[in-house]
Amino acid sequence: MDDTQNVGGRDRLVRFLLAAGLSIAAVRWLQSGKRVRGALAGVGALVFGFNATTGYCGVNDALDVDTTGDGVSIEFDESDGGSASSADSAVTADAGATQVREHYLTCADCGEPIVAGQARGPNSEGDIVHDACA
């Protein structure tokens, strides 16, 4: 187990509240004879309680998600063979203090951006391209 913290701020508060709510639900279900529901809610309460108190989440660790900083940090491994360069996925259109990302994918064949809603898929080499380019 990794001992670094990857859960912080609001995320810890939400997990604490979920643990409290699931604890109450577990006790009520167990009292009413619904053992399976009560046991599952109890396990969920333990998991969220562990996350909230230690600041560590195994799922966040596996997905490389870190919520301890100022904002949520999600790290992407760009060695997956995709042809998108850092210039293609750069942050653009500065609107005051808020930055908007213009597009995420580019066609490996024509180099044009692939926008939401456009038909796309892998070509023979496994790169993402427009359906018209395939």
pLDDT in tens, 61-100: 888 888 887 555 566 665 555 444 444 444 444 445 555 5
Does 82 reside within a domain? no
CA 102 to chain centre: 20
Q: Structure tokens of 81?
A: 């063979």
Report the distance separating Cα 72 and Cα 92, nearest Å: 19
Per-residue model confidence (pLDDT) at position 65:
86
Average pLDDT over residues 112-116: 78
Residue 25 has pLDDT above 90, yes or no: yes
Does 38 reside within a domain? yes
Does 67 reside within a domain? yes
Give the count of domains, the chain.
2
Does 81 reside within a domain? no
**Contact of 101 with 92, CB cutoff 8 Å:** yes
Domain encompassing residue 116: 91-130
52 with 105, same domain: the answer is no
54 with 96, same domain: the answer is no
Per-residue model confidence (pLDDT) at position 91:
46
27 with 64, same domain: the answer is yes
Does 103 reside within a domain? yes
Does 100 reside within a domain? yes
Question: Of 17, 16, 36, which is closest to residue 26 (Cα–Cα)?
Answer: 36
The region of weakest confidence among 36-45, 68-77, 104-113, 118-127 is: 68-77
52 with 19, same domain: the answer is yes
Q: What is the mean pLDDT of the chain?
A: 78
pLDDT band at 2 (very low <50, low <70, confident <90, very high): very low
Does 85 reside within a domain? no
22 with 54, same domain: the answer is yes
- Provide the β-strand partners of residue 122: 128
Amino acid occupying residue 127:
D
Average pLDDT over residues 115-122: 79
Report the distance separating Cα 68 and Cα 51, nearest Å: 12
CA 71 to chain centre: 13
Does 36 reside within a domain? yes
18 with 59, same domain: the answer is yes
